[in-house]
Amino acid sequence: MTTPDLVLETASAQVARAREAKAKRPSIAGFFDEATNTVSYVIHDPASKEAAIIDSVLDYDAAAGRTSNGSADLIVEYVKANDLDVRWLIETHAHADHISAAPYLQEKLGGKLAIGREIIRVQEVFGKLFNAGSDFERDGSQFDHLFKDGETFALGAIEAIAVHVPGHTPADYAFIFGDAAFVGDTIFMPDFGTARADFPGGDARQLYKSIQRLLSLPEDTRLFLCHDYKAPGRSEYAWETTVGQQRRENVHVKEGTTEDEFVAMRTARDETLAMPELIMPSVQINIRGGHLPEPEDNGVSYIKIPVNAV
């Protein structure tokens, strides 16, 4: 059985090999969606052109109830312009602040749609909350592949490993390709801190432990973030940092911050935060792998909004 310590040993060794053999470092392109403050990524092996897309965004006009593909089409254009072979469409977790464009990208570019296997827990919780009914499968079958903690895979010559980092939600994963870790909604730029932990199934203590897992990687490991909110005093958006920078500078969890201190801070801060504007459509769609709810007898899909729910 793979243990958390063994997972980190494997990940750290992978990072070291990538650092020493620079030809095996992935090529990375980030696509920032300012409407949702989300960064999507295309990662590829320069030699084989095998690629993965992480945390894509489907444009959604909440007032009109309409989706569009402008953000996703930028990724399609990039992939085709660089003649890439998309093998994976990866979600770091079921997002609450934007809708995944993975089904659209899969139709255009191919690849397997994947997420961490703990998505089953999230489907169960939100399936009940939204009264999704017996037709909604709560077994992860909406995805082509469910990663487990420590699972290894590859893009051509680029080694990759999936690392379970719960806390923001029970199903968050980081994906490390060579020396680059894509950490989802776990940690942000050092001047902004860390992710909230008050969604159903979230846990601030788990989040602290997950962040410590990530920060135990070699200090020159590159971290690519899923969001940036441009902390006060900073004029530009940013989404790349390193383990070493986070250890030294993160305003919530830098070296010397105890678990109890972090939990107290995170709990107090979360109590002041409003829910994301797109949480209702995002969660209902993303737990379905980015597919809209089944159309009703008039051919239209509907998003449910619980009213006065406990």
Task: Tell me, yes or no, whether 121 lies in a domain.
Answer: yes
Query: Over 60: is that where the pLDDT of 1 sits?
Result: no
Per the structure, the count of domains in the chain is 1
Residue range 101-124: average pLDDT?
A: 97
Distances (CA, A) of 174 to 71, 81, 211: 23, 27, 10
Region of 140 please: left (phi>0), alpha (psi -120 to 50) or beta. Answer: left
- Between CA 187 and CA 207 the distance in angstroms is 9
Question: What is the domain extent for residue 118?
Answer: 4-286
Task: Tell me, yes or no, whether 299 lies in a domain.
Answer: no
Per-residue pLDDT of 17-53, as tens digits, reads: 888 777 678 999 999 999 999 999 999 999 999 999 9
Task: Tell me, yes or no, whether 310 lies in a domain.
Answer: no
Task: Tell me, yes or no, whether 293 lies in a domain.
Answer: no
Chain mean pLDDT for the chain: 95
Q: Which of 34, 38, 55 is nearest to 290 (CA)?
A: 55
Q: Tell me, what CATH number does 91's domain have?
A: 3.60.15.10
Task: Tell me, yes or no, whether 72 lies in a domain.
Answer: yes
Task: Tell me, yes or no, whether 303 lies in a domain.
Answer: no
Task: Tell me, yes or no, whether 239 lies in a domain.
Answer: yes
Per-residue pLDDT of 142-179, as tens digits, reads: 999 999 999 999 999 999 999 999 999 999 999 999 99
- In degrees, rounded to 5, the angle at the alpha carbon of residue 181 between the alpha carbons of residues 178 and 186 is 165
* pLDDT band for position 140 (cuts 50, 70, 90): very high
Task: Tell me, yes or no, whether 309 lies in a domain.
Answer: no
